[in-house]
């Protein structure tokens, strides 16, 4: 903890790399009691055991499909995380030159008050829909319709008139999530990518702290491997990894790394107490 605080205090810039473990630590769990409370009826009918696998379930009708997804979106996008992990993290980095690179799609950074101009959601957003084809490269805000689906669904089905279709070609809409080659990178995605590159360029010659939080091995090429590579190549970089059960780094960068095996929420609370 002392080494991490020292690296943080010395840093000119902070690059946060956030994975699913951060949201899980904040109470956004996809299985167990939280899953059963929201999706118990789907579990009984289809045998689904968690929210992630349920997204790939072959539902019988589009009405059921959107009943599932409207619930999923509501509890994982339009409700704030039960634990204040994101709020505590913002308290630590506020006033620093920071940027967030994340594979999370739950919008919890913005709900906690992080500057949206300092966020790059690489894998999409639960709050956006796109054409399933896709016939064009735009996304659409879904909050108003999702809230109606949530309120008006009955017997695991939404009203047929609420099923979204592409305003251009009429094909079904789908989630703006990177699950295949149909993922739409819209203008907002590219603007965020540009701001991320600008942040990295601004760090040339400065002391940069790479703060990796809850990143697993599902898509390591987005955050983990680039962080390791940057630490190896740039002497001014320090790598910090906080992850319960998966904290580690290559031996070649170990002298400029701090790896903490523990719950992110508890580590950040201890970190705050020492500031």
Task: Mention the CATH class of domain 2-28+81-123+185-273.
Answer: alpha beta
Q: Domains of the chain: which residue ranges?
A: 2-28+81-123+185-273, 32-79+126-177
pLDDT tens by residue, the chain, 275 residues: 999 999 999 999 999 999 999 999 999 999 999 999 999 999 999 999 999 999 999 999 999 999 999 999 999 999 999 999 999 999 999 999 999 999 999 999 999 999 999 999 999 999 999 999 999 999 999 999 999 999 999 999 999 999 999 999 999 999 999 999 999 999 999 999 999 999 999 999 999 999 999 999 999 999 999 999 999 999 999 999 999 999 999 999 999 999 999 999 999 999 988 77
Output the pLDDT for position 274.
76
Give 221's Cβ-side CA count (13 Å radius): 1
In angstroms, the CA 115 to CA 253 distance is 31
CB 119 within 8 A of CB 192: yes
Q: How many CB atoms within 10 Å of residue 39?
A: 22
């Amino acid at each position: 903890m002392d080494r991490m605080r020292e690296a943080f205090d010395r840093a000119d810039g902070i690059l946060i790399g956030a994975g699913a473990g951060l949201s899980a630590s904040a109470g956004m769990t996809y299985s167990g009691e939280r899953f059963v409370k929201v999706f118990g009826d789907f579990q009984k009918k289809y045998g689904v055991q968690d929210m992630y696998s349920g997204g790939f379930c072959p539902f019988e009708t589009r009405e059921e499909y959107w009943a599932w997804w409207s619930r999923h979106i509501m509890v994982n996008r339009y409700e704030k995380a039960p634990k204040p992990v994101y709020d505590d993290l913002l308290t630590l980095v506020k006033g620093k030159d920071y940027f967030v690179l994340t594979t999370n799609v739950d919008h919890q950074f913005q709900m906690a008050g992080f500057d949206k101009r300092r966020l790059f959601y690489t894998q999409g957003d639960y709050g956006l829909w796109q054409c399933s084809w896709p016939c064009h490269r735009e996304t659409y805000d879904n909050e108003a319709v999702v809230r109606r689906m949530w309120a008006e669904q009955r017997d695991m089905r939404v009203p047929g008139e609420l099923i979204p279709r592409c305003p251009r070609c009429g094909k079904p809409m789908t989630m703006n999530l990177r699950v295949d080659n149909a993922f739409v990178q819209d203008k907002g995605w590219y603007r965020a990518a540009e701001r991320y590159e600008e942040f990295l360029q601004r760090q040339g010659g400065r002391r940069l702290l790479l703060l990796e939080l809850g990143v697993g091995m599902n898509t390591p090429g987005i955050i983990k491997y680039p962080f390791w590579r940057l630490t190896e190549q740039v002497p001014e970089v320090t790598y910090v990894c906080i992850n319960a059960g998966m904290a580690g780094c290559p031996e070649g960068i170990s002298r400029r790394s701090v790896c903490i095996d523990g719950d992110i929420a508890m580590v950040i609370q201890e970190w705050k107490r020492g500031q």
